[in-house]
Amino acid sequence: MGGGPSVIRRPTTQKSNTELTAALRSNFSLAQQVALNQSLKSATNGFPNSRRRPPYKSWTFQDDSTVYIPATDPSRPGLAEERPQYEITVKLFFLPNEPASCRCAQTREAIRLVLRELKVPSIDLLIVSYPGISFDAEDEEDEESDEAPEVDAQQSQDTTGEGSAEDVDTMLKTWACLEELHDEGVISKLGVAEFGTERLRRFLSGSRIRPRVNQINVRDCCVVPKPLILFAKSERVELLTHNDCTNILPRGTVRELLDFGDTGVGVLASKESSDEDQGLKGDVVPQWVIKFTAVVKNRGVIENKGYFALAELHDVPIE
């Protein structure tokens, strides 16, 4: 009786945080250039053509309290072929220092943006990345020793440097929101990221709809630990490797991208400015990032790939 490989290694190029930052800069610059080009066709646009960059309001869109940066184009076409021709994979990164109680609404909003962008009713696989955890092969080796630790080392491990790892019960509360989307037919399969054997064991025992995928980053080793391979195989959980960062969008990066200075795009006002037209006042805290990929099944070609990110604006600086 044959079977597939125990671990599927996905080809990787640049790291996701680098890719995301580059994509944001590119989209911001393109939107600014379009705004400048439009100013050339109008003598009453409200800002001189010779300015280094246009006012942020000319290339963003505000809907109530939400500002879309850049403005989205709902008329843009979705995927070229029918939905069954694609394998659509989505990864949702919950970022550090944000309360877990907000995640149900955050998840639905993130998925809504992806479905609207691709013009599809559903996705095939959603992988969730919880904050504060990172796969460590050494912990797997420790589990093979005769004396197992009384406290799960992975349970409390924080290898990201921002925030501490959550307990499994908190993760399962978030997971229940994903199970609802599965029940509604919006998501076909669910997956997790960076789970070692013990965390995965506890998670499986507490979930109603079990994860079908466990995505791990083996950045410091080339071999996936045998205990995890054996356990995942016995539980029919597919192991995938990846090159993503857990904290894919640090707060400092968001500030740098949106700042009024030379490296930013002028969405955030300078600290000295009192003019609202010169930018938004306050500090930004990233809450989540969602990454999506649509692959044409019979050709293995990526037709559409991108990111959405959400950050919250606070009136006062956040420590």
Give the model's pLDDT for residue 72: 83
Give the model's pLDDT for residue 74: 79
Q: What separation, in Å, do the N-terminal and C-terminal C-alpha atoms of the chain show?
A: 58
Is the bond preceding residue 70 a cis peptide, omega within 30 degrees?
yes
Kind of pairing between the strands at 61-63 and 66-68? antiparallel
Give the model's pLDDT for residue 215: 94
d(CA 28, CA 19): 14
Give the model's pLDDT for residue 223: 75
Q: Is 35 helix (H, G, I), strand (E, B) or coil?
A: helix
Q: What's the helix, strand, coil split of the chain in %, to 5? A: 35, 20, 45
Give the model's pLDDT for residue 155: 39
Give the model's pLDDT for residue 232: 96
Give the model's pLDDT for residue 246: 73
* Residue numbers in the chain where pLDDT is lower than 50: 1-9, 45, 49-50, 145-162
d(CA 125, CA 158): 26
Strands in the chain per DSSP E: 7-9, 61-63, 66-68, 86-94, 123-129, 187-193, 213-216, 238-241, 283-296, 301-314
